[in-house]
């Protein structure tokens, strides 16, 4: 069941990074179901094609452009924006969901290469991509951006220097840029999920289990029990929050970091 009307985003064009991952994949489906033309990107072409097929099976009139790109490659970043604009016109809605967890090394063990990779994908890339799209949003006085941050952007975790640092930085970008962009009719917000049922969520639980001497299944149970609501979030729940923030129903929500965490962190 969709929470949103089928024409909530008709005439709009949403670009979703990380569309081959759990959160981006569901977000693309929700936004296409609201009538937006979408451009979906990730490195795994076959997953993008599968997503496109799923969306077209639901609605054969949906406009879905697949562009596989490594976002750390500046030429591919340029080609992504060019292809998106030439196929679907002005990008009015941007979801920066691509991200990496990194190695969760403690500071003594961390290498500069590990730190820079996480910072580049999770922090620098969303800025570079936003920068390419924002000038047209600004000229047209229309646009909405949602950055997928994390609870790890709100409080530190053991071994989280690189990942937490990148997500704190992403929230810093969200808040600072929101102040610039709102003067031109463009809204910028972030979402902060706790554990989500995706590859990354499972990898994170697996790593924590290794540290605590527990199997994945044991740590998965502990993780669910540690959350006040009793369970980790689904990708659909994060996608619905992103979709809400992108619509005019959220017209006066600016620079926020909305948590989806079953009550894990409250502030």
Parallel, antiparallel or unpaired: strands 143-148 and 186-193? parallel
d(CA 16, CA 131): 15
Instruction: Please count the residues of this chain forming the interface with ligand NAP, following the rule CB under 6 A.
Output: 27
Tally of CB atoms within 10 A around 39: 26
Minimum separation from the CB atom of position 74 to ligand NAP (A): 12
Assess whether 220 carries a catalytic annotation. no
- Residue 148 Cβ, how far from ligand NAP at the closest point, in Å? 4
- Between CA 220 and CA 225 the distance in angstroms is 9
Closer residue to ligand NAP, CB minimum distance, 142 or 236: 236
Q: Which among 53-61, 104-112, 198-206, 211-219 is the span making contact with ligand NAP, rule CB under 6 A?
A: 198-206
Stretch in the footprint of ligand NAP (CB under 6 A) among 49-57, 83-91, 193-201, 250-258: 193-201
For ligand NAP, the closer of residues 35 and 125 by Cβ is 125
**Cross-strand pairs, 147:** 96, 190
Phi and psi of 60, rounded to 5°? -70, -15
For 253, phi then psi, to 5°, come to: -100, 115
CA 236 to CA 36: how far, in whole Å? 17
Nearer to ligand NAP, 234 or 247 (CB): 234
Q: How far is the CB of 201 from ligand NAP (least distance, A)?
A: 3
Task: Report yes or no: 198 and 266 within 8 Å, Cβ to Cβ.
Answer: no
Query: Which stretch in 58-66, 191-199, 209-217, 222-230 sits in contact with ligand NAP by CB under 6 A?
Result: 191-199
**Residue span 143-182 as binding mask against ligand NAP, x where in contact by CB under 6 A, dash where not:** -----x-x--------------------------------
Catalytic residue among 25, 123, 134, 163: 163
CA angle 186, 34, 245 (to 5 degrees): 35
User: In the range 90-129, which residues lie near ligand NAP by CB under 6 A?
Assistant: 97-100, 121
User: Which regions of the chain does DSSP assign to beta strands (E)?
Assistant: 13-16, 37-42, 64-68, 93-96, 143-148, 186-193, 257-260
According to CB under 6 A, which residues from 56 to 85 bind ligand NAP? Answer: 70-72
The Cα 48–Cα 25 span in angstroms is 9
Choice from 8, 34, 36, 42 touching ligand NAP (CB under 6 A): 42
Task: Look up residue 113 and give its two tokens.
Answer: 């290469």
- Residue ranges that bind ligand NAP, judged by CB under 6 A: 18, 20-24, 42-44, 70-72, 97-100, 121, 148, 150, 193, 195-196, 198-201, 204
Q: Which residues are catalytic?
A: 163
């Amino acid at each position: 069941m969709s929470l949103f009307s089928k024409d909530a985003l008709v005439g709009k064009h949403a670009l979703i990074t990380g569309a081959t991952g759990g959160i981006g994949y569901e977000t693309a489906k929700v936004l296409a179901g609201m009538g937006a033309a979408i451009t979906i990107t990730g490195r795994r072409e076959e997953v993008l094609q599968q997503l496109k097929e799923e969306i077209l099976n639901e609605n054969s009139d949906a406009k879905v452009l697949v562009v596989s790109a490594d976002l750390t490659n500046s030429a591919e970043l340029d080609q992504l924006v060019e292809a998106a604009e030439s196929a679907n016109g002005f990008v009015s809605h941007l979801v920066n969901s691509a991200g990496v967890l990194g190695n969760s090394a403690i500071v003594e063990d961390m290498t500069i290469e590990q730190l820079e990779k996480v910072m580049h994908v999770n922090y620098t890339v969303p800025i570079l991509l936003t920068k390419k799209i924002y000038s047209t949003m600004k000229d047209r006085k229309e646009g909405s951006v949602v950055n997928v941050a994390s609870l790890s952007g709100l409080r530190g975790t053991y071994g989280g220097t690189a990942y937490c640092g990148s997500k704190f930085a992403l929230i810093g970008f969200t808040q600072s840029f929101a102040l610039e962009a709102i003067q031109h009719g463009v809204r910028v917000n972030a979402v902060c999920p706790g554990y989500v049922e995706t590859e990354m969520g499972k990898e994170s639980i697996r790593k924590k289990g290794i540290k605590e001497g527990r199997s994945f299944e044991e740590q998965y149970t502990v993780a669910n029990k540690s959350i006040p609501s009793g369970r980790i979030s689904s990708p659909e729940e994060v996608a619905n929050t992103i979709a809400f923030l992108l619509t005019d129903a959220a017209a006066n929500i600016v620079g926020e970091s909305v948590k989806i965490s079953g009550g894990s962190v409250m502030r």
